[in-house]
Each structure stands twice: as structure tokens, then as C-alpha cells.
Structure 1
């Protein structure tokens, strides 16, 4: 075979080998195992949802609108008196409660607190019988139990600090005792005592404060609260001299409270390792037969 005829034959041989090699490479690719499936990581599991416990304590600056003296004799006679001093002392309080974090900005809780015994005093000039120059100094002590259902709006978190606003409604129970009445001026020598009395009435509150993330589940709070506790009422006061039986109604007791407290979130994300999870087994390689 001449040199000129060998060149076309060589070209045909190379073309045939190229055509055979392409399906061989494709067949080899079919024999490779498929890529492993992507692992599916389960979502964190919530335990106890958004429930939390709280404890609080603080100090309240108490005030009242006025004290009303009522003659409960039969028949009763309206009093005419000029108030010279009408005040209550301040209160310490402690409490706790349970709540629920509805979403990242809304939470609700129910709280109860004991407000320690405080002193009330009324000093007035009695003018019921005219300008007699008679004065009465009446005083007593009461403590309170307050229960509220509260709602709060969290206003966002910056560097772990969350400002919030809130409001609450509930009841206040006052226990009034140790009431005494002393006469001065033309009433000098008069003395009266009153029985213990219990009264429960409507209460409401407004809140504003700051929460701080101590840990993921523990929050520290400092807050201001305006609390209206309705009125407290003494028992019937009777005196040694000839005088009417009297009940004193301490109207519109309110308190400007400074509170500190802790909230512990019972729920929270559980570590994925604690979830019983096993990845799926690898799939067998696909083999194409010819």
C-alpha cells in the first residue's frame, strides 16, 4: 500500500475509535454511585412552650384621695368636720406569679402579692355640734393582698435590654385593724376603739419597665407600677364618752411602686442531640445493564 493510501485509512481508524470511546465513557459514568442525600436536621423541640415563673419585690409610695367618716348609729347623723391631716404610710411588698410568652412582643401573667402592714391616720376638727373646739385623732393599720392579671407589650431588644409597657386588672383585699380614736381640745379624755374589718374590691395597674437577658431563660426586671387598690374600711369605732358609732372609709388608695424581679422561662429550644434522630441509610449505586 502506497504512502498516499495509508493516510485515509489511518483517519478512518481514528474516527472509529472516537465513536466507540464516547459510549464507553457514558457507560462508565452510569456505574458511578449517586451523590449522598442531604441530611435533614430536625427543628428544635420546645419544652413547656412559652410558660414562665416570676418573683417580685418592691416598695410603694402610698396615697389616698380622702377619708370619709360615717355615723352608723340609729338614726345616723351626718358628720361636719374639717380634715387637718389625712395620710397613709408607705408599703413594702413581695409576690410571684405564672405567665406565658405569646409571641416575641406579647406576654401575659397572673400575679399575687402581699403588701405589708402600713399606718393610716386622720386628724380632724369635729364641727357637727358647732364650733366646739373638739378634735379627734383616729389611726389604724392595714395590710393588703393584691391579685392581678396583666398584659405586656415588649418594645424590642437592644444589647439584651427590652423595654416594655403593660396594664392589669384584679382585686385588692384589705385587712384593717388596730383602730383607735383619741380626743383632744374640748374632747380631751375621749377614747375609742374599732373592730377589725376585711374588704375586697376592684384593683387596676399600669406598668413600665426594662427587662434584661441574664441568660437565655432568665430575665431580670426593674419597673415602675401605678396601682389603684380601691378603698379600705375600718370596723365600727365606739368610744368611752357619749358619741356616735363611726366607720371610716379610706377612699381611692393608690401606690407608686418601684419593683425588681426575675422571670424564669420554663420552655426553650432543646439541643438537637437530645432528639432521637438517625440519618437515612445511603442508597445503593445504580447499575445500568446492556
Structure 2
């Protein structure tokens, strides 16, 4: 019996360092937990870069002849800014209201064959200004070593406006004498999908790196009158079919105590 007790005590002494090593390994493992604050207000500010965006402008209406062909495309990718105010409901869900503003160059081409009776094209370049106002809902997916990945979706309205422009004529020079296009503006429905990761710099401040896809409904872009070389005026309207934007952003979130 004594030999058996001695054998068991020896096993315990041998296993003790292994148990201690396991404890050290677990204590060194990355901490997986919830957000430090479960609820409260926060403010945000972001700098956005649209690395890819597109616009469709294939509808040109020349009254009273009807619809004609046309196209439009974006210029350089713009940098825009945004601010917002939000509320953290619990360790998972939060929501904010945000505003973003950006400007971009747009090049438009319209076919005026119906107005002139022969092939003739209008080329024009203008600036597009977009103000996004939306409400966003996010789900934070847990915190690992200070990093909190998240996904979200947003719904709102975008105020899209175009600057007025004088057009250049290509093709048959006798078709049109001159053209002036007035920039249109209107509110449009928009929605977004987001994903990103936030890093806790301090208890109140977080660095937010994210991606956002935004889809903006179509509307009027340019309208005016064509001054025909033979006399008379011809109304026209250029409509875009919507704006599709891929954006990466870097910003800060400040939590109020």
C-alpha cells in the first residue's frame, strides 16, 4: 500500500509543471470579449475615398421627338468627408445618423439625330455634387485584442446636383448653332452596405476602417434647349439611371461618458 501511495505522489509531482504550463498558455491567449461600454452616445468623423464608381446616363429625351441615345461616365475618383452621431444599444447593436459630401467630374454625350434629322452629337462635361444623409444600423461581432469587426446596412436620401454647362458640338456642324445645359438637382433614395473593423485606442476613442457600397437612384441630370442652325429651339433632358459607389474610409469614433 505504501508503494502505491508513493507512486501516485510521484505522478502528481511530474504532472504539476504541465498543469502550470497549461495555465500560462491560457493566460497568454487573446482575449475575446464584448465591447467595454454596453450603451451610450458617440460621435464620428470619416475621410472617404471612392476607388470605384459608375453612373449610367443612357436616356436623352428630346421633345417632342422622344427618347434618343446617350451616355455618361465618371471622372477621377473623389475624396469626400462625413460626420455622424450614433448610439450604442448593447454589446452588439448600434445605430447612427450620418452625412457625407463629395464632388466628382461627369462627362456626358448625347445623340441629337432626331432633332436634326442627321447624325449629330453633343459632348459636355460638368461637376456632380452629392450630399448623402442616411440612418445606419450596425452589428459588432465581438472584440479580439482591441479589434472589433462589424457589418451594417443603411437607408436614406442623397441630394444630387449638377453644375450648368455649355456643350461642344461634334459631327455635322450645321446641325446646331449652340447649346446650353442647365444643371438639375433632386433628392433620391439611396441605400448602403458596410463592413469594417474598429480598434480601441482608449476607453473613449476608436479608429474605424471600413468599406461601403452605396446605390443611389436615378434622376434628372441636365436640361435645356438646343439652338438649331435653321432657327427654332428644341428642348432636351439628360437623365442618369443611378450612381453606384465603392468607398473605403478611415475615421474616428468618440464615445461620450
Give the shorter-chain TM-score range. 0.7 to 0.9
Does the 8 A contact of 1:236 with 1:247 survive in 2? Answer: yes
Structure with the higher fraction of residues in strand conformation: 2
Dislocated runs of 4+, deviation >6 Å: none
Deviations 1:35-76 (A, max 9, x none): xxxxxxxxxxxx9x51001001111132123331122x4xx2
Q: Check the 8 A contact 1:176/1:233 in 2, yes or no.
A: no
- The answer to whether structure 1 residue 112 and structure 2 residue 99 are counterparts is yes
1:95 and 1:129 map into 2 onto residues whose CA distance is 43
Q: Where does structure 1 lack aligned partners over 5 or more consecutive residues?
A: 1-46, 268-290
Say whether the 8 Å CA contact 2:60–2:67 is kept in structure 1.
Answer: yes
Partner of 2:250: 260
Q: Give the conservation status (yes or no) of the 8 Å contact 1:59–1:91.
A: yes
TM-score, length basis structure 2: 0.76
Conserved 8 A contact 1:230-1:252 = yes
Deviations 1:92-112 (A, max 9, x none): 211111101111111110001
Q: Which residue of 2 aligns with 1:157?
A: 143
Find the aligned partners of 2:151 and 2:74 in 1 and give their Cα distance: 28
Alpha-carbon shift at residue 119 of structure 1 (Å)? 1.5
Pairing 1:77–2:61 present: no
Measure how far apart 1:154 and its partner are. 0.8
- Where in structure 2 are there 5+ consecutive unaligned residues? 1-36
Calculate the aligned-residue CA RMSD, in Å: 2.4
Matched residue SS, 2:145: coil
Partner of 1:4: none
| Mean CA deviation greater in 231-240 or 53-62 | 231-240
CA contact (8 A) 1:166 1:208 kept: yes
How many residues are matched?
216
- 1:135 and 1:187 in contact (8 A); partners too: no
Identify the residue that residue 170 of structure 2 maps to in structure 1.
Answer: 184
